[in-house]
Structure 1
């Protein structure tokens, strides 16, 4: 089949249009397709037939012209003008930890809390409930610290060092968090540390909604077992899912919020402070607010 230069140009334009829209499956370049898109080469006329010599010729066959492609321009319309079937689904609504699950009616005695946390860890098992299980994770990072503490720190998710060791905040950001805890007059062993997700996101990206919401059920149980007086949300991801709203840290810092019966203070993630050391003073203000709430005093310098 031969294609005129005008038809070939039109086909190329259509293909480029669909490629720009992300449609590639129908387009597989092959030798026949390449030849079909090339202008028809001149073909040497055959020798006159007997019919032509006698003047009796068959009727000429009209050229085959491909009908123009019908392009649906709905993709180019604003989203609110598209029919519901073509619109992207709305972003899932965030819900705070208080709204996801009712608060427990009873408290777990201090002596039973380590065993209760072990039950949660066993329930998680070798978790495959969300895509993070297939993103190259090595270990599930459950938590670390004292199950009978008044102070809990919640971060975003494990990094490479945490994924390798199975413990939260053991890399460079963890070293800074240890220093922050020490500046409050405490030791790491005296607080409880966890993350919104327990598996490392690929390339340390921010956890997706489905990942965070899937893992939240276990973090909520951990909080309900430990029952800290104060939770420090480290960074915007922890604050977003704990409080159920997406808001800039500047609007969340400086006052207490509430989650699972605890007061929640929001401050910068240690990884951010490593990139922006000038903000360490602001984070210290947040920790001082927590210290006043818990009656802590910084250690006396020798």
Structure 2
């Protein structure tokens, strides 16, 4: 087994980052413990206690039968009624989608929507996440930046695009003259899936009314969409981000048609740094498109 002392600082940092992204967030013990041996010992102790209890029960039962026989009464069998089990309550996906749509449409501001989403219980992802990760930034932005879902850093901080990926996004936006204060940053899925897994189709459907309502309330002029999941969510189909990136498309939300542009997610660039040149090309094209739009409207 590799010890932490065998790793240099960079390797140790990379290993800790890998565990954090995989959902490992707490170190429970300072020293390694053989959990298998510990479990076997606990099981043996439990078996010994159970055997002693069974012996005592048989002895007590024999004494009772002897007493009953001596008094002329037959032994009465003891009947134990099973404890009532509460049925598991599960909200059907279709009902959860309808509930989400109602909750979202009832909100008249981003603040109201955040409060409503914090109280919403129809998405199972909420049960494993630390909390809601809601939109941050300018509530009336020219550009709305949308990612797929919170990662471990977002979940800890309660803010979209946190940690190393957030720092990379800041540099990407800064390269085209944008900042967090200018844009509104958010995710399609507001609760972190366990282990950063891809949300299911049902989970995506339940969360759709929330992201669409955010767009309706913010009324951005343009959408900058990051990552494979996000691009498929808005544009449909099964193409990859490499096939969907770099072109302007249209997204219709709440009766408005909004120009949308997809590019690689900061996580994609961290995994494959060679793709940074593609992302830079996309960002330049996005900036040119937004400037052209402003000139035409002016």
Partner of 1:270: 266
Tell me, yes or no, if the aligned pair for 2:245 and 2:264 is still in contact at 8 Å. no
Q: Note the residue ranges of structure 1 that are not aligned, 5 or more in a row.
A: 1-99, 105-112, 297-302
Q: 1:191, 1:240 → 2: CA distance?
A: 22
Instruction: Say if 2:213 is the partner of 1:221.
Output: yes
Partner of 2:35: none
Task: Provide the TM-score with structure 2 as the length reference.
Answer: 0.59
Partner of 2:115: 122
Q: 1:246, 1:258 → 2: CA distance?
A: 17
Tell me, yes or no, if the aligned pair for 1:182 and 1:188 is still in contact at 8 Å. no
Task: Provide the TM-score with structure 1 as the length reference.
Answer: 0.58
Q: Give 1:125 shift.
A: 2.2
Q: Give 1:295 shift.
A: 1.9
Moved over 6 A (4+): none
Within the candidate set 247, 266, 286, 2:282 is matched to 286
Partner of 2:20: none
Q: 1:213, 1:164 → 2: CA distance?
A: 25
Partner SS for 1:240: helix
Residue by residue over 1:148-193, the C-alpha shift from the partner in whole angstroms, topping out at 9 and shown as x without a partner, is 1111111111111111111001111111001111111122111011
Give the aligned CA root-mean-square deviation in angstroms. Answer: 2.3
Aligned length: 186
Point out the structure with the larger helix share: 2
Q: 2:119, 2:157 → 1: CA distance?
A: 16
Q: Give 1:127 shift.
A: 2.9
- Which structure has the larger Rg? 1
Q: 2:161, 2:241 → 1: CA distance?
A: 21
State how 1:1-302 maps to structure 2 within 5 Å: 116-134=109-127, 136-259=128-251, 260=253, 261-295=257-291
Q: Note the residue ranges of structure 2 that are not aligned, 5 or more in a row.
A: 1-100, 293-298
Tell me, yes or no, if the aligned pair for 2:147 and 2:187 is still in contact at 8 Å. yes
